[in-house]
Structure 1
Amino acid sequence: MKKYYSILILISIVNFSFSQVQKKVFYNENLEEISESNFYKQLNFQKNLDLHFENDTLKTSLLITRKNYGQLNDSIFNNLKKSLSSDKELSNNLIVIVYYPGKDRCNGTESTSFWNIFDHDYLKKLNKIGSYSHFWIYKDDENLQYYHPKQVKWENDKNQLVENLFFKLHYPCSSAVIIDKNGKYISYYGEFGKSTIWELSKELINTKI
């Protein structure tokens, strides 16, 4: 998590430092400044995302690792579980959170989504991997009506808890995090499909089907 606090601080420093100069700056996944050509040479959608922040005088481009590992301490994990489900204890092997950040260049079309995570076999196969509690969380509900609200229960991110724990920046499309019963997690930023959730879930609990 410290890495993404560093990213936010870096953006603030760079914007302040070059506030009077028109400039483009590029950073790799280690927050090291690199050339524009190296930035796009290293860009690999399977591995990373390119995020861009700009104002009138500066454009900052970052490479962000898509797949990340972490561990929640007991206090934070318990608080998250209570926020997700206040009426019953979450005791399944996995907690799966699909996170919708709001309308952006990826999910800006105004038509029913054909995203395969809404396929009928998605949860069926997930259940074969391990028992789970699944949550559909959104930050901003603009365009959310095109993401099957009659099929799944979208819930607002209470007090931005999920955002602050896992998705501090706006990653395009949607993102996901899978957490095991001990608080160990794998987060995945940006566009993904049902097979990604299956693979990360199997990796997290080391189960083969």
Structure 2
Amino acid sequence: MEISEEKYMEQLGSRDYLEVPGDSSNYKRLVYRYAEGNLVHIEKVYKTLDSLSIYSLNFDKPIVCIYYPGRDKCNSSGTKSNSKKDVLRNELEKIDEQINLVRIYKDDTGLNLKKKKQEWIQDPGLFFEKNFFNYHYPCGSFVVIAPSGKYFAYLGEYPLVYILESTRLLLENS
């Protein structure tokens, strides 16, 4: 749907939308940053991830997937303070016993695959890209998937606290 430039800029400024390439070089598309729904074949997702050598999943716990699309301006600047990242990462690790935390990448360019305590795997069969991350959203994205198949995804740059909030909400409502 075509909208005026004024409306476009208003929606883009709201942070509820991201700008992605459109059908031609003259057009850009706004994409809503939040996605939710239900996966029909949730057991296949668990089995696929569980079959990969570095992950052993508990099928009764939600999957929290951190998704890295590849290097871009946003995820290669390195401007965020490590102390803030560490505090939030510690918070995520506190709920680690309640979740299956997986780190998935599409393109590992710029990704330090050997970070302490972080193991990354390539998107199996492009499952995560096809189902949740249709575009290269800046910085990366995440999706939380409940054992029931209900999911919530946040597209593009996010603070780690969003993962915590989304996971808690999904755990409470499942």
Interval containing the TM-score (normalised by the shorter chain): 0.7 to 0.9
**Alpha-carbon displacement from aligned partner over 1:7-27 (angstroms, at most 9, x marks no partner):** xxxxxxxxxxxxxxxxxxxxx
Are residues 112 and 84 of structure 1, via their aligned partners in 2, closer, same or farther at CA, if it must alter by over 3 Å?
farther
Residue 39 of structure 2 is matched in structure 1 by 72
Question: Which stretch has the larger CA shift, 90-99 or 64-73?
Answer: 90-99
Are residues 187 and 91 of structure 1, via their aligned partners in 2, closer, same or farther at CA, if it must alter by over 3 Å?
same
Alignment of 1:65-144 (within 5 A): 65-73=32-40, 75=41, 77-86=42-51, 88=56, 90-109=58-77, 114=82, 116=84, 118-119=86-87, 120-127=89-96, 131-144=98-111
User: For the residues of structure 2 that align with 1:79 and 1:70, how far apart are their CA atoms?
Assistant: 16
Point out where structure 1 has 5 or more consecutive residues left out of the alignment: 1-31
**Aligned pair count?**
169
1:189 matched to 2:155? The reply is yes
- TM-score by length of structure 2 reads 0.84
Are residues 117 and 180 of structure 1, via their aligned partners in 2, closer, same or farther at CA, if it must alter by over 3 Å?
farther
* C-alpha displacement of 1:44: 3.4
* C-alpha displacement of 1:111: 8.7
User: For the residues of structure 2 that align with 1:82 and 1:148, how far apart are their CA atoms?
Assistant: 25
Q: With a CA cutoff of 8 Å and minimum separation of 6, indicate the structure with the bigger relative contact order.
A: 2
Are residues 44 and 200 of structure 1, via their aligned partners in 2, closer, same or farther at CA, if it must alter by over 3 Å?
farther
Q: Is the 8 A contact 2:57 2:100 kept in 1?
A: no
Matched position secondary structure for 2:43: helix
- TM-score by length of structure 1 reads 0.71
1:199 matched to 2:157? The reply is no
Q: Which amino acid aligns with 2:47?
A: K
Q: Which amino acid aligns with 1:192?
A: Y
1:153 matched to 2:119? The reply is yes
Bigger radius of gyration among the two? 1
User: For the residues of structure 2 that align with 1:181 and 1:204, how far apart are their CA atoms?
Assistant: 10
What is the RMSD of the two structures over their aligned residues, measured on CA atoms?
A: 2.6
Matched position secondary structure for 2:26: strand
Q: Is the 8 A contact 2:49 2:57 kept in 1?
A: no
User: For the residues of structure 2 that align with 1:113 and 1:174, how far apart are their CA atoms?
Assistant: 17
User: For the residues of structure 1 that align with 2:80 and 2:168, how far apart are their CA atoms?
Assistant: 30
